[in-house]
Structure 1
């Protein structure tokens, strides 16, 4: 799928979920597990939609990637850098854990500080400056 069609990225305990635009006239949802060549189990959610011309068609609504998969981490870093408002974390603990892990890598300091400013997150890092 095109990266621009992703409406939001959710970070859960075991998966990073790419959510696409919800289609109208959904008959039912179907999930399929896809095992890639490296052994990662991806989950795709499809919607079976009424199509006035052909009867029905299948549209992908979300794609679940394992959180330890390298391409999922790259996708998440890309979205934290370019579209931080689209990234949602399941829990505050997961948010703090993942963002402090990225802070320690020293590659995305400006990206993560921008994300902290947007979401008003306090991870317990104290400043060396005293404002008295």
Structure 2
């Protein structure tokens, strides 16, 4: 009977650890802001965009590390981004080191780009006009 209880307990721990939402994220940064026509700018090393992105726009972010069952949440001001697609990022040895994610935003007026994952803030430095 003790072996059966121990066996069930170990199986429950194994199953719960497989489906846990552990993340191993080192960085998450916004790298680009684009309008619906595809015109945009690289925002890696600036604090404020040059163009106005009112209405519909897209953000491109890069996540260095692994995220398993959750996706980052991206805001521009009060506009929450809707996930569109992702692309893997590889180093020179063909090892996956991160992911590029593209989000679509509606009704953008102005505000900071905010990237969060599991209630942890990763980026809040670029102001979009």
TM-score computed with the length of structure 2 as normaliser: 0.28
Q: Which of the two has greater strand per residue?
A: 2
Structure with max Cα Rg: 2
TM normalised by structure 1 equals 0.27
